[in-house]
Amino acid sequence: TQHLLARVTSHEALGAFLHVDADAALAAAKAADARRAGGDTGALLGVPLAHKDIFVTRDMPTTAGSKILAGYRSPFDATVLARLFAAGTVSLGKLNCDEFAMGSANENSAYGPVANPWDAARVPGGSSGGSAAAVSARLVPAATGTDTGGSIRQPASFTGITGIKPTYGVCSRYGMIAFASSLDQAGPMARSAEDCALLLSAMSGFDERDATSVERPPQDFHAQMQQAREGATAAQPLKGLRIGLPKEFFPAGLSSDVDKAVREGLSQMEKLGATLVEVSLPRTELAIPVYYIIAPAEASSNLSRFDGVKFGHRAAQYDDLLDMYKKTRAEGFGAEVKRRIMIGSYVLSHGYYDAYYLQAQKLRRMIADDFQQCFTQCDLIAGPVAPTVAWKHGEGKDDPVKAYLADIFTLPGSLAGLPGMSVPVGFGEGGMPVGLQLLGNYFQEGRLLHAAHALQ
Ligand code: GLN
């Protein structure tokens, strides 16, 4: 913990941390030592972590990357973090992210951008950009992130680390500040599939405080990960595994460096015993408009609670209550958040609801059905996480639609609520890391982690 706190200080220029609490971290480390001395053998005991600033914390500030939450203190810890704390992990602090997790480059944070540790001129991806940079720069061995439309997988891919977004409902959303509630999922970002498995086991599980939490017994993902497939050998741990390659995940527009690295990863999986089969997800392109209707619709509703009354920032000068709401929100929210609130309010309004929101919901169902069709032909689906490697800071900042289009490969799995991973498979343009995306059917986290582990 001491060593990493020093690294956090010497790497301040990355912009990964929004809050560091050295005293609390050292005290937690001491408490973990005492537990270990008392015979506790927990795998996560004393492991230093840091957390995306979208999880509320009682003993640290929570901003969600937004000015509107400046000065806010939560009276409780998010369930996911409370479970990690109970497992004896040490928290170094809170990590930068796009404002309310809206973004793909961590350039929408009110507290400044985050640099990619591989090349400071490039973005770390988003919205969990601080988590990705902190793990990649070895400031922490692992961190928490959240993924609504790719925000664990894409930054993991851009920084050469491993991340998993579990099946919707596996991790509690209680205390995770809501962006799009039907899509939001927490997950770990770490150096390996094995570390992800250990963290996910501790973070996940039923929580009666989240109405969409899935009721099932606690899972040991690390044990599931290690369970060899039938017929598998040490040399061929993936024997018998059918990996589906949706042809829509390899379009003409895919940049050649990413295509090459991903195909090398796939041929590695073949050597490990997997068979590759071509499948189709015909509505892949539609996932973009569908997501960018549904996510803003839910955001416009979720973010109505930030009105200057209950949380954080309140405008200093105002005439009456309505004026206070207006000024608080005008001052507190950044441009991307305002854009989404407007889109969301529009698609939900009378006369447009049927034309946009309802159509999007119908297509969402069809996208999920397409996956089920695929899973009759394969066990896992693979492809790129993103069409390019991490881009340079400032590129695409003024073109939100361009940024939305880059989410094409992560959005379908999110809309379907499926588990997905990013596993580093090589390097592309500028020596930047490239991640392979693996998607599994519902509750197939063990199979995903096993495949990723074999590749590592
Ligand atoms: N890039 C997507 C967006 O801006 C996904 C973000 C996320 O998963 N939180 O909405």
Q: How does pLDDT run across 346-370, given as a tens digit for each residue?
A: 999 999 999 999 999 999 999 999 9
- Is the C-beta atom of 116 inside 6 A of ligand 1? no
Atom of ligand 1 nearest to the CA of 183: 8
Span from the CA of 403 to the centroid of ligand 1 (angstroms): 10
Of 62, 25, 49, the residue nearest 195 (C-alpha) = 49
Q: Give the residues of the chain that fall short of pLDDT 70.
A: 228
CB 439 within 8 A of CB 380: yes
| Cα gap 320→327, rounded to integer Å | 10
CATH architecture of 2-286+359-455: Alpha-Beta Complex (3.90)
- Residue 66: strand, helix, or coil: coil
Q: Assess whether the C-beta atom of 407 lies below 6 angstroms from ligand 1.
A: yes
* Ligand 1 contact, 201 CB (< 6 A): no
Q: Is the CB of 21 under 6 A from ligand 1?
A: no
ipTM (interface pTM): 0.98
* CB within 8 Å of 149: residues ≥ 6 apart: 180, 183, 291, 295, 407, 410, 411, 414
Residue 131, helix vs strand vs coil: helix
Q: Given strand 90-95, what is the order of strands in its sheet?
A: 17-20, 90-95, 48-52, 142-147, 185-190, 162-165, 420-427, 433-440, 380-384, 242-246, 275-279
Q: Which atom in ligand 1 lies closest to the alpha carbon of residue 340? A: 10
102 CB near ligand 1 (under 6 Å): yes
3-state percent breakdown (helix, strand, coil) of the chain, nearest 5: 40, 15, 45
Q: Which residues are tagged catalytic?
A: 52, 127, 151
- 408 Cβ below 6 A of ligand 1: no
In this structure, the number of other CB atoms found within 10 A of the CB of residue 157 comes to 33
CA of 241 to the centre of ligand 1 (A): 30
Coil vs helix vs strand at 359: helix
- Whole-prediction pTM: 0.98
- For ligand 1, atom 5, the nearest C-alpha belongs to 149
How close is the Cα of 57 to the center of ligand 1, in Å? 22
Q: Nearest 10 degrees: CA dihedral of 267, 271, 273, 278? A: 20
From the CA of 146, how far away is ligand 1's center (Å)?
Answer: 9
Listed residue (180, 198, 182) closest to 190, CA to CA? 198
C-alpha closest to that of 311 among 59, 19, 64: 64
- Cα–Cα distance for residue pair 240/439, rounded to 1 Å: 17
Class of residue 318 by CB neighbours under 10 A (exposed 0-12, middle 13-18, buried 19+): middle
For a mutational test of ligand 1's pocket, the pick from 97, 407, 418, i.e. the residue with the most ligand atoms closer than 8 A to its C-beta, is 407
pLDDT digits (tens, 9 = 90+) for 147-186: 999 999 999 999 999 999 999 999 999 999 999 999 999 9
pLDDT of residue 228: 66
331 C-alpha to ligand 1 centroid (Å)? 23
**Domain residue extents for the chain:** 2-286+359-455
Give yes or no for residue 128 CB within 6 A of ligand 1: no
